[in-house]
Structure 1
């Protein structure tokens, strides 16, 4: 069986809010310099911060801690995220 390479990024939010609908000043977490730069082009009114940890740790910071309004992750990382996580939001393709 051949693995499919998922090269897109996704925006993950707690409440299913689209990136375009997040209020100005919302904090977005990502570990990628490229994603931060792209977000700055599309939504310069949002704040970005480097987020560290494995995917489950990052999702916990979004979902339970409420530290971030959204995360931008590699789509492949969402595929491999633990199935037991209680994330209630949604993932939408980003750039």
Structure 2
């Protein structure tokens, strides 16, 4: 899976989307369950979910009348590896 770090960081930049990811880290949830978490309209929650899906951070599946969302871990692992690599580099002080 190719991860577009720019899309991932844009998705992670929003507090509401981070709250949705936090909830999904505990297991799958329907759109309605996720909408109950945020003080915004259901269409706004759907837009947030689309951004997360476009970044590859969640996977969405239609089951009956409900859309179920679950966390997709590979993009998060890529971000963690990138941050670890960045933080492990030696920093040279300016002369």
Q: Greater relative contact order (Cα 8 A, min sep 6): structure 1 or 2?
A: 1
Q: TM class, shorter-chain normalised?
A: under 0.3
Name the structure where helix makes up a greater proportion of residues.
Answer: 2
Tell me the TM-score normalized by structure 1.
0.26
Tell me the TM-score normalized by structure 2.
0.26
